[in-house]
Amino acid sequence: MDTQDGTQQSQQLILAHNVFLLKHPDVSDIEKVRLRDEVLNSVQSNDMTSYYETLVTDKVLELDQSLLESMRAKNEEEIKKLDEKIADAEENLGESEVRETHLAKSLYYIRIGEKEKALEQLKVTESKTVAVGQKMDLVFYTLQIGLFYMDFDLISKSIDKAKNLFEGGGDWERKNRLKVYEGLYCMSTRNFKKAANLFLDSISTFTTYELFPYDTFIFYTVLTSIISLDRVSLKQKVVDAPEILTVIGKIPHLSEFLNSLYDCQYKSFFLAFAGLTEQIKLDRYLHPHFRFYMREVRTVVYSQFLESYKSVTIEAMAKAFGVTVEFIDMELSRFIAAGKLHCKIDKVAGVLETNRPDAKNALYQATIKQGDFLLNRIQKLSRSKCRCVFAAPVWFGLCFGQYQFELVYRPYGWYGMRC
């Protein structure tokens, strides 16, 4: 993907985001007129013939036959020139010059939106590349193609390939760039916890401006961290992080969203939360997970509030969040039924009673379940043709952390447990 300098976002990824907004039902018609002009100008300036045909098929743009034929003619002419340069380099120049001409053809295919031809040409270029750093740059081009088309299979394979290359060497700058690419992939595939850890590792070394500006990177970091980190880690790594503090004020509602959660100002949190929903909904990578993220954030904030109480009235909770009693009752009932919150509602008394799970009791129940499964397998084995007979009680020891359990099997199926 072409970038004009080291601190500018790829024009192809900007185009992909504009196309996403054009297809989004919540974007106003006036805004879509402006976006449509930007998309058409970008497609025309880069001679993206194949991509133009795709947008026409998707009814994003209207067909202009003369424009289509003009772009196709320019593509054919430029590819012919590149092939001539490759032939000349192979005949008269050295290996590095041959590689550069193949790379130029790869980048041209990327620029005009020819996905399959670009991937094929990148493989040819890689076969003529020796240095690990240069091979990594080719992987980054492949990752950008995957992000442009949201091809997660291609992205996953490219990340694995990059990690294998780093086992043979590689500089820290490219390793840190890979963390941002992998973090974006994890966030786009709903692995928010891993995405948060990768983003936090890259805060002080961020150089991946071809994907998004630093402000957007901080936006993603805060959003993923809130639903992934515990309260202590959130304070250390996010709330007090100087890199985040210098930028967070530039992003609408984000500072209030983060700080009001940590300071337990739940009414302010909900107001900031409402302001952020539009940004999340109109984000190309977060939009598919919008409803999931909304649920996870509410689970975090409700759990934090209830953690301070053994019991609390529904009215007091509704007042703390600045919502109605009916809304809180409906919200909590859904989360309790889904197993997200450990409490129960006394509707008659209008009280919430927390019932935090006991770790030792949960471990005991899990051991009972595993013991039942093991004994069922033994009984099936004893009824098989090999006629395995237990003449005396058999003890099976299970150990979980500091707890030890003994399962006792007797010839007629009776068993017991000792802790």
Per-residue pLDDT tens digits for 289-344: 999 999 999 999 999 998 888 888 999 999 999 889 899 989 889 988 888 888 88
326 CB-contact burial (10 Å; exposed 0-12 / middle 13-18 / buried 19+): exposed
127 CB-contact burial (10 Å; exposed 0-12 / middle 13-18 / buried 19+): exposed
| pLDDT for residue 82 | 92
Instruction: Give, rounded to a whole angstrom, the gap between the first and last alpha carbons of the chain.
Output: 62
- Give the pTM: 0.81
Instruction: Name the stretches of the chain with pLDDT < 50.
Output: 1-5, 385-396, 398, 400-405, 407-419
Q: Are 159 and 143 in contact (CB under 8 A)?
A: yes
Non-local (6+) Cβ contacts of 221 within 8 A are 196, 199, 200, 203, 238, 244
Distance CA 180, CA 229 (A): 18
- Secondary structure in 3-state letters for the chain: CCCCCCCCCCHHHHHHHHHHHHHCCCCCHHHHHHHHHHHHHHHHHCCCHHHHHHHHHCCCCCCCHHHHHHHHHHHHHHHHHHHHHHHHHHHHCCHHHHHHHHHHHHHHHHHCCCHHHHHHHHHHHHHCCCCHHHHHHHHHHHHHHHHHHCCHHHHHHHHHHHHHHHHCCCCHHHHHHHHHHHHHHHHHCCCHHHHHHHHHHCHHHCCCCCCCCHHHHHHHHHHHHHCCCCHHHHHHHHHCCHHHHCCHHHCCCHHHHHHHHHCCCHHHHHHHHHHHHHHHHCCCCCHHHHHHHHHHHHHHHHHHHHCCCCEEEHHHHHHHHCCCHHHHHHHHHHHHHCCCCCEEEECCCCEEEECCCCHHHHHHHHHHHHHHHHHHHHHHHHCCCCCCCCCCCEEEEEEECCEEEEEEECCCCCEEEEC
Q: Are 24 and 288 in contact (CB under 8 A)?
A: no
| pLDDT for residue 400 | 46
| Identity of the residue numbered 260 | S
| pLDDT for residue 6 | 53
Structure tokens at 84: 């001539």
| pLDDT for residue 411 | 46
Structure tokens at 394: 């058999």
| Domains delineated in the chain | 11-130 (no CATH), 171-308 (1.25.40.570), 309-367 (1.10.10.10)
| pLDDT for residue 361 | 65
